[in-house]
Structure 1
């Protein structure tokens, strides 16, 4: 499915592209990534930020569209980022680095065009402590998890269990604030990507950052329902309808809701199951 046909509300792969390497912009746009984020924060040295920002704005002013990761609200670059980017015609939204309070989101929104979406990137202990308030800020579009900086800030190790609490807090805060499920941090090694994507989905996250376009297809597949799940959903809904909506036990309605959600995801991501496959899987 073409990248631009996937809404950022449900986008799975979010590709971070260094703003200091404009030669990568076209490669990113042609990739399988659901969303592109041009990064003028951690991916760019302080001395190069002005040029990287200018290159980003030029690209966004020539018929291209992307999100931009701006510098955090406590940095010396934040206000300049917003002042120069806000008129860029191709700006889809901003990712706010190191979001630590709802006021960071509010202050950022005040300097952007009305209703410009903001991805709040939580990557510190303070940000996690305030994630419920961040999620509830009127301009927060979705929450993302900056796992690398979070591990540095908290001295957390590499074992997935070490980040389970943090991931759960992002998922719970997003759901309570009626936001889409959060976006997990990147998995750097290709050989660990499938498992990292599976973990994100298991934790209740529906998107994942990546640092190279070669990771996008694996993330998209891992965060979309499988053919078997789609077949089960079709079969369950059909059986439920043929029964006249008969409720047999307390699990029927939750399973119906899950099946309908899977059907919606299948439509959104262009996943089709042919009748022969349905018959083969006995649905």
Structure 2
């Protein structure tokens, strides 16, 4: 198995794969997903969690590579999850379910040996309100939004306006913690126009990745979260002009535009978007 060429710091599409469906592991690894997450939490019946964990560890040890969504800190399965995964080759990182405090992140990070990055999945009202401290926790790598569980916890609808606050809260928390932009929750359904609209809305709010559940969602998500060709062309033209005038600042708008152009150009190159 080869690792994704897209670094997890900027990864757009994060494909969730049930840890009990071992036949899907190789297909996921060869897909267009920027990163894959083998799920031994919500996607696995409690009676099968031990088997799922063993299957995931076996696949990673045999040459696979990916992230693993483990059970939350308060669950009966968390301790066995972190002990079983510690030191496993191929483990790119851990997604911690239902994160509600900084201590959940640091305890997980420390139990895994202090070297495995933790993607903290925030899925409740408490988690959203604690997100700034979660983002600053030792071992925190990136924040994710468990939108489905958040709606169940709060009674919020899936309407974009109703969900704007928790998404924006995670964006602000990520900035406070000096983390990459957060990862949005999945969009359920097969409609590509709806998926594109939801992904573009998340980008407008400042999120930079999205969880997904199906292989056929990957291309849409990757395209929607990448800079457009016109954005890449504007960035390249601005940077070329800036260099041609000796990097001289002409007015107060130059520095913000320079920062935006450099970010777009860097992402366009990483994602293969040619002007």
Please classify the TM superposition score into its range, dividing by the shorter chain length. Answer: over 0.9
Q: Which residue of 2 aligns with 1:86?
A: 86
Tell me, in whole angstroms, the C-alpha distance in 2 between the residues paired with 1:159 and 1:96: 26
Alignment partner of 1:196 is 2:201:
no
C-alpha contact (below 8 Å) 1:3/1:32 kept by paired residues:
no
The equivalences for 1:76-225 within 5 A come to 76-191=76-191, 192-225=194-227
Distance apart, 1:3 and its partner CA: 6.0
Q: Structure 1: state its 5+ residue gaps.
A: 274-283
Q: Which residue of 2 aligns with 1:37?
A: 37
Task: State the Cα deviation string for residues 123-159 of structure 1 (Å, max 9, x = none).
Answer: 0011011001000001100000000000000000021
In structure 2, distance between residues paired with 1:72 and 1:80:
11
Q: CA deviation at 1:87?
A: 2.9
Equivalent residue number for residue 22 of structure 1: 22
What is aligned with 2:63?
63
**Which aligned segments of 4 or more residues in structure 1 are displaced greater than 6 angstroms?**
none
Query: Residues 193 and 23 from structure 1, CA distance in 2 versus in 1: closer, same or farther, beyond 3 angstroms?
Result: same
Instruction: Tell me, yes or no, if the aligned pair for 2:114 and 2:139 is still in contact at 8 Å.
Output: no
Using the alignment, how far apart are the partners of 1:246 and 1:7 within structure 2?
Answer: 33
8 Å CA contact 1:3–1:34 kept in 2: the answer is no
Q: What number of residue pairs does the alignment pair up?
A: 272
The correspondence of residues 262-273 of structure 1 with structure 2, limited to 5 A, is 262-273=264-275
What is the distance in 2 between the residues matched to 1:253 and 1:87?
A: 44
User: 1:118 and 1:165, CA in 2 relative to 1: closer, same or farther beyond 3 A?
Assistant: same
| C-alpha separation in 2, matches of 1:243 and 1:117 | 42
- State whether residues 187 and 196 of structure 1, in contact with CA within 8 Å, keep that contact through their aligned partners in structure 2: yes
Q: What is the CA–CA distance in structure 2 between the aligned matches of 1:202 and 1:219, rounded to whole Å?
A: 14
**Residue equivalent to 2:230:** 228
Deviation at 1:243, TM superposition (A): 2.9
Separation in 1, partners of 2:86, 2:29: 21
Unaligned runs of 5+ in 2: none
1:3–1:195 distance in 2 versus 1, CA, 3 Å: farther
1:239 is aligned to 241
Looking at structure 1, the residues matched to 249 and 38 of structure 2 have their Cα atoms a distance apart, in angstroms, of 49
Tell me the alpha carbon deviations over residues 170-211 of structure 1, each in whole angstroms, 9 at most, x when there is no partner.
001101111000000011123211001101110101110001
The structural deviation recorded for 1:103 is 0.6
Cα distance, 1:209–1:4 mapped onto 2, change above 3 Å: same
2: CA distance, partners of 1:225 / 1:3: 23
